[in-house]
Amino acid sequence: MNERLLALADDELVLGWRDSEWTGIAPVLEEDVAFSSIAQNEIGHARALYTLVAGEDGDVDALAFDRPLEEYRCAPLVELRLLDWAHAIARRWLYELADEIRLAVLKDDADPTVAGLAAKIDREEAYHRMHAELWHERLRDEPRFQEAVDELWPYALGLLPAEQRSDLAGRAGREVVDAVERGAHTDELAALWEEMTIVRRSAPAGARW
């Protein structure tokens, strides 16, 4: 199993879930629409990546929802339940900065199916980056936003392997510090896992509607 693709897929699935928590309650209608679309895209990227990881006859839903909690590879940044707008935007901005770096590496992958999918994902992510950039321009001088970025910065570094972190620091205008690494999961992921796997667990033969 491709650990690197699985980690990316899990990041996108869980972040998609977190972003969708703004559906219906974002501060303005435009952001309701934006976060919902972004969430839909992230979950679509997760599905496409799980398809690659699962292989020809693999079960994408099983990979997404049937694993025990400790087998998820997502980074703690995406696990956090952030229902404060400054934090939600700080995470979007940091995530997109990091995601651009790792997608650029995957676009040059020796495996053409990986490179092709990374190129496709990157075309969609371009619009997420614009959204993050717009909000960063608006909020960057606000103390509440700056505090949120300070708090999430060690988590953002944990998205990337060590060799890509100085690139991220350069883009974010910050220093590399000790990262909150992948591996241990937050309590917040445990609660989310309960919620996102409940349909599969309650209807093991497969739900239909």
Partner 1 sequence: MISEAQVWDALAEIPDPEIPVISLVDLGVIRSVDVASGRVRVEFTPTFLGCPALEAMRSAMEDKVAELGARAEVQVIQDDSWSTDRITPAGREKLRAAGFAPPAPREATAPKLVQLQANVFRCPYCGSTKTRLENIFGPTPCRSLRYCESCRQPFEQFKTI
Quickly list H helices, the chain. Answer: 3-20, 29-54, 60-65, 76-79, 85-107, 112-139, 143-157, 165-172, 187-196, 198-202
Sketch the per residue contact string, 84 through 103, with partner 1: x for CB under 8 A, - otherwise.
--------------------
48 vs 172 by CB, closer to partner 1: 48
196/66 Cα distance (integer angstroms): 10
116 near partner 1 (CB under 8 A)? yes
How buried is residue 195: exposed, middle or buried, by Cβ count under 10 Å (0-12/13-18/19+)?
exposed
Q: Does 21 bind partner 1 (CB under 8 A)?
A: no
Answer yes or no: are the C-beta atoms of 102 and 158 closer than 8 Å: no
Min dist. Cβ of residue 42 to partner 1 (A): 7
Positions in 27-86 near partner 1 (CB under 8 A): 30, 33-34, 36-38, 40-45, 47-48, 51-52
Chain residues that interact with partner 1, rule: CB under 8 A? 30, 33-34, 36-38, 40-45, 47-48, 51-52, 113, 116-117, 119-127, 130-131, 133-134
